[in-house]
Amino acid sequence: MSVRESIGLHEQSCTSCLICVRDCPSQCIEIERHTEQLTEGRRPKTVHVLDAFRIDYALCMYCGICVDVCPTDALIWSPVAGLALPSRAALVSDREDLARRAQ
């Protein structure tokens, strides 16, 4: 039986679609994004670009719904433990921390 240690993020796979943010029952995921116009290709299109991705592990209930619903498998279960920290604010994992958990 495996232990759900934490959640990791493959940044390059994330399309910042916000499905995980909407489906998270404890509302612990926060995404910041902006749109960019792509002019190359057959015709111009608008894409979302990820600016910030935060998971508040003080709120996360480890249900794994975000991992299940992620359409690009950017969110994964990570074997990296170590979430015993001296401050409440430190339990908020940022994009770099989540990417490290996905390596």
- Interaction site with other proteins (CB under 8 A): 3, 5-6, 25-26, 56-63, 81-88, 90-91
CB 102 to other proteins: min, Å:
17
Residues in CB range of 96: below 8 A, 6 or more apart: none
CB 26 to other proteins: min, Å:
5
Look at residues 72, 47, 67 and name the one whose alpha carbon lies nearest to residue 55: 67
CB 15 to other proteins: min, Å:
27
The nearer residue to other proteins, 16 or 67, going by C-beta atoms, is: 67
Taking the CB of residue 3, how many other CB atoms lie within 10 A of it?
Answer: 9
Match 């390596």 to its residue by tokens: 103
The nearer residue to other proteins, 60 or 75, going by C-beta atoms, is: 60
The nearer residue to other proteins, 16 or 29, going by C-beta atoms, is: 29
Give CA–CA dist 91/27, Å, rounded. Answer: 15
| C-alpha triplet 34, 7, 17: angle, nearest 5° | 25
Measured in residues, the chain has a length of 103
The nearer residue to other proteins, 50 or 80, going by C-beta atoms, is: 80
CB 97 to other proteins: min, Å:
12
